Amino acid sequence: MKRALFPGSFDPFTIGHQDIVERGIKIFDEIVIGLGINSEKQYMFSLDQRLSFIKACFVNEPRIRVETYKGLTIDFCRDIEAEFILRGVRNNGDFEFEKAIARTNRKLSEIETVFLLTSAQTSYISSSIVRELIRNKGDYSIFIPPQISI
């Protein structure tokens, strides 16, 4: 079985994230969306909220599950028996950053990273932009999946 981990903080989960998962499930038998827990990071949404947001998006897709983890992503991959890490890349900056992490992960493990380019329609969307819209009472609804109610 080809299992991939799609890791992130997903604060909040956007239509860009959803697009990567929906396209990734055509490649992999199963995708685990891994919510990384970082005690030093300040989140807009609680862990429980983020879990419920993502689960609502994939309630009818049994090959996609959502879990939380602490520590190294490659250790969590081993725990869930994922051979792949799935990452979305929006631009050159993302690619350079993700490439360094992928090479480090590959050096430390046998886990391969698979990059999917974001769709043109979602390439400019980021969780930080959505958080800023939410904070300033802007219309963020077009940037998050319709299943998510904030």
pLDDT of 149 > 80? The answer is yes
pTM assigned to the model: 0.95
41 is catalytic: yes
CATH, domain 3-143, list 3.40.50.360, 2.40.50.1020, 3.40.50.620, 3.40.30.10: 3.40.50.620
- Could you read off the pLDDT of 6-39 as tens digits, one per residue? 999 999 999 999 999 999 999 999 999 999 998 7
Q: What is the mean pLDDT of residues 75-98?
A: 96
17 is catalytic: yes
65 is catalytic: no
Distance CA 7, CA 114 (A): 12
Distance CA 57, CA 147 (A): 6
Domains of the chain: which residue ranges?
3-143
* 24-27 long-range Cβ contacts below 8 angstroms, 24+ apart: 24/86, 24/114, 24/116, 25/61, 25/63, 25/64, 27/2, 27/114
- Could you read off the pLDDT of 120-132 as tens digits, one per residue? 999 999 999 999 9
Lowest mean pLDDT among 22-26, 38-42, 54-58, 73-77: 38-42
Dmax (CA) for the chain in angstroms is 45
39 is catalytic: no
Of 26, 39, 41, 107, catalytic = 41
Of 90, 99, 106, 131, catalytic = 90
